[in-house]
Chains A and B, each alone.
Chain A
Amino acid sequence: EAGVVQSPRYKIIEKKQPVAFWCNPISGHNTLYWYRQNLGQGPELLIRYENEEAVDDSQLPKDRFSAERLKGVDSTLKIQPAELGDSAVYLCASSLSPAASEQFFGPGTRLTVL
């Protein structure tokens, strides 16, 4: 069974440029999460989707970050414009259901903003 797929794996951009990350969750997983992991820290939730609905986006900086999950499968996370402080690893995870299920993580996208 394929795991969570993310692309690109690495991205280097200059500040003020836009960037987008893509995630394909495990087949059949209705819940999708985007986390951000800063160096030396644990991941922190940015947004959670139940199918195509964003049900928890309280930690998403909405002035520059946006996300979508069209058709309730793949998801895209976008930053526009990027700032130096956005340098981090962006992790996508999925689970069968929100409450009791195990979360499975993708390999992440390492973003460097110069």
Chain B
Amino acid sequence: KQEVTQIPAALSVPEGENLVLNCSFTDSAIYNLQWFRQDPGKGLTSLLLIQSSQREQTSGRLNASLDKSSGRSTLYIAASQPGDSATYLCAVRTGNSGYALNFGKGTSLLVTP
């Protein structure tokens, strides 16, 4: 069974810092990897989708990388802002999960002014 781990579980940084969130998975036979943002009491907002053939994706201040062979992905947030405060979830899709997403527990990010 695919296991997804996110480190750290929580992170607090001052505004303006660059930061990296880590995600690891046990089964490298994935179709894709998706990063989500979840605000308190809200649903999930898709940030970036990386297909298994890709190495990275960028959107604004966000950059996600994928190293499928080592089972790792990172989400890089540049010049963090208080509005970035949320929980960030990593999820992978593998064929043996019936194409469902396997999620990590998330990293809770707090960006202080």
Which A residues contact B (CB, under 8 angstroms)? 4, 6, 31, 33, 35, 40-45, 48, 55-56, 58, 91, 93, 98-100, 102-108, 110
Question: Which residues of B have CB within 8 Å of A98?
Answer: 99
Q: What are the 9 A-B residue pairs with the smallest beta carbon separation, nearest first?
A: A42-B103, A45-B100, A56-B98, A105-B44, A98-B99, A107-B43, A102-B49, A105-B43, A108-B43
With CB as the reference atom, state the residue of chain A lying closest to B108: A40
A48 CA to B103 CA, complexed, in Å: 16
Report which residue of B4, B101, B105 has the largest number of chain A beta carbons within 10 angstroms of its beta carbon: B101
- Smallest CB separation, B84 vs chain A (Å): 19
Interface residues of B in 12-53 (CB under 8 A from A): 31-32, 34, 36, 41-46, 49, 51
Binding site for A on B (CB under 8 A): 4, 31-32, 34, 36, 41-46, 49, 51, 89, 91, 93, 95, 97-101, 103-106
A43 & B103 in contact (Cβ 8 Å cutoff): yes
Q: Indicate if the CB atoms of A104 and B103 lie closer than 8 Å.
A: no
- Contact residues in B for A104 (Cβ distance below 8 Å): 46
User: Which residue of B32, B46, B49, B101 contacts A43 across the interface (Cβ within 8 Å)?
Assistant: B101
CB of B10 to closest CB in A, whole Å: 11
Identity of the chain A residue whose Cβ is nearest the Cβ of B100 in the assembled complex? A45
Chain B, interface SS category: strand
A-B contact pairs, 12 of them (CB 8 A): A42-B4, A44-B103, A45-B97, A55-B98, A99-B31, A100-B32, A100-B51, A103-B101, A104-B46, A105-B36, A107-B43, A108-B42
Complex Cα distance, B99 from A5, in Å, reads: 22
**A67 to B106 Cα, complex, angstroms:** 28
Known contacts: A100-B31, A102-B49. The answer to whether A91 contacts B44 by CB under 8 A is yes
Give the CA-CA distance A33 to B46 in the complex, in Å.
15
Pairwise interchain contact B98-A43, C-beta atoms closer than 8 A: no
C-alpha spacing A110/B36, complex, angstroms: 19
In the complex the two chains form, what is the Cα distance from A42 to B99 in whole Å? 16
Q: Which residues of B contact A99 (CB under 8 A)?
A: 31, 93, 95, 99
Kindly provide the distance from the CB of B99 to the nearest chain A CB, expressed in whole angstroms: 4
